[in-house]
Structure 1
Amino acid sequence: MKRTEKKRKDIIDAAIDEFREQGFLGAKTTSIAKKANVSSRTLYNHFESKEALFEAISEIMVAQNRRMAPVPYDPDRDFVAQLKEALWRYVAIITDETALGLNRMVISELIRDLDRSRAFFSESETHDYPITLLISEAMNVGVIRKADPALATNQLLALVKNFYFWPEFFLGENPTPKEVLDDCVAMFLSHYKVCD
């Protein structure tokens, strides 16, 4: 890693700590620079403002949540098994400790700032979930009924996140039994089953 890249990473790591501890409004760039062992001038060479730092952290959060590669449909395997495997991989990624920390920090600011929240959600709507490909291809070959694959994915992931992301996000633990994922998939499939 080049020296400038390391400094940038150190600044971002320090900003994440500062935003977590002080909130966005209470965070100070001087404190961030001190935690990162850089001068304020160096910080501003990398990030023109506290807002720019927050945007960079938001982008890192989105990238963390989307680090799972798109999942293609395999016609030689059971679709339900493929879907459950993909969902468990997705749950592991979004409940990773680093991802949860970034989500907590960013979401707390999005709750406070409606304009920033609108911009963030507008940007995030342009990204496909990795499971969208699997659902889309299964629709195309008639395994499940044709519909908007992005909407179908959002519906399924809303169920899954309700049981596996939000408890971890708010409680730091997850009391949900693993079998609940089977119920989420069954509900999804009952809606998207191919009509005879």
Structure 2
Amino acid sequence: MMVEVKKTRSELKRSAILQGAIQAFKQYGVSDTSMDKIAEVAQVSKRTVYNHFESKELLVTHIIKEIWCKNVVSYEVKYNPDITLKEQLIELVENELSLSKQPETIELIRVALTHSINNPEMFNQELHQFFEQDTALVRWLKAAIADNRFKTMDPHKANEQIVSLLKGQAFWPQIIRFDPLLNDEEQSDLANETVDMFLAYYQR
């Protein structure tokens, strides 16, 4: 029997702030949402918001970390030797692309990037260690390598190569040039092309 761990008052407040911020961002947009508005939506005092997050940019950064963890780190595709590498990789790549389907997430990332440029040391402290975690794709690559399905490779480097191919069309153009998000057909084509290129080089 699992014992439910009760959250402390501080943890409940923090959770309320995060949920309030997400709700306010969706309703008003990230740029037009103030800390006052976040406090109002979360039903806490402005002082409480600042006690947990010293700026809106740090709050945005924390939300991005949570979204990334839920979508990329906690997601799981267990390596299966009885299923083709392409089929398994397509699922993983499409999951990587899932973050690029959400306009709200793109807007959050724009705010975080502006923050990182102006505060590189703080940004590095907030995110560097976090993004060193093994993602679902890295874990799957390690298992496939152990099964001798790929040439010798560094799974982290291979992961970066895949992600870079995806971001070149489904992330940076949307972040920097404000290009439209890829539609479902375009994302499917990108996933297939990326996986085919990767397998053509690495698969035994």
Q: Same fold (TM over 0.5)?
A: yes
Trace 1:33-52 onto structure 2 (pairs within 5 A): 33-44=39-50, 47=52, 49-50=54-55
1:151 aligns with 157
Whether 1:105 aligns to 2:115 is no
CA distance in 1, matches of 2:105, 2:187: 22
1:152 positional shift: 0.7
Q: 1:30 to 1:181 in 2, by over 3 A?
A: closer
1:21 corresponds to: 31
**Gapped runs of 5+ residues in structure 2?**
1-5
Q: Could you tell me the TM-score, scaled by structure 1's length?
A: 0.74
User: What's the CA shift string for 1:99-125, capped at 9, x where partnerless?
Assistant: 334323322322332223332452234
* Structure 1 residues 44 and 112: alpha-carbon distance in aligned structure 2, compared to 1, 3 A threshold: closer
TM-score, structure 2 as length reference: 0.72
Note if contact 2:101-2:181 (Cα within 8 Å) is conserved in structure 1: no
Give the alignment partner of residue 181 of structure 2, picking from 158, 164, 173: 173
Give the whole-Å Cα distance in 1 for the aligned partners of 2:187 and 2:68. 27
The residue that corresponds to 1:193 in the other structure is: 203
CA distance in 2, matches of 1:181, 1:39: 45
How far apart are the structure 2 equivalents of 1:167 and 1:192? 27
> Is contact 2:100-2:170 (8 Å) kept?
no
Identity %: 25
8 Å contact from structure 2 (residues 97, 170) kept in 1? yes
Alpha-carbon distance between aligned partners in 2 of 1:2 and 1:120, rounded to the nearest angstrom: 23
Equivalent residue letter for 2:202: Y
**Which letter maps to 2:125?**
A
Q: Partner amino acid for 2:199? A: L
Aligned mates of 1:33, 1:115 — CA distance in 2? 27
Secondary structure (helix, strand or coil) at the match of 1:69 reads coil
Deviations 1:117-161 (A, max 9, x none): 332452234211211122222212221112111111111111122
Q: Find the counterpart in structure 1 of residue 3 from structure 2.
A: none
Q: Is the 8 A contact 2:99 2:105 kept in 1?
A: yes
> Structure 1 residues 85 and 49, CA, compared in 2 at 3 Å: closer, same or farther?
closer
Residue 62 (structure 1) aligns with: 68
* 1:68–1:90 contact (8 Å) kept in structure 2: no
Residue 95 of structure 1 aligns with which residue?
101
Instruction: Say yes or no: does 1:182 pair with 2:192.
Output: yes
Would the alpha carbon gap of residues 58 and 109 (structure 1) be closer, same or farther in structure 2, given more than 3 Å must change?
A: same
- Unaligned ranges ≥5, structure 1: none
SS of 2:30's equivalent in the other structure is: helix
Q: Which amino acid aligns with 1:137?
A: A
Shift of 1:54: 5.0
The Cα RMSD (Å) is: 3.4
User: CA shift at 1:91, angstroms?
Assistant: 1.4
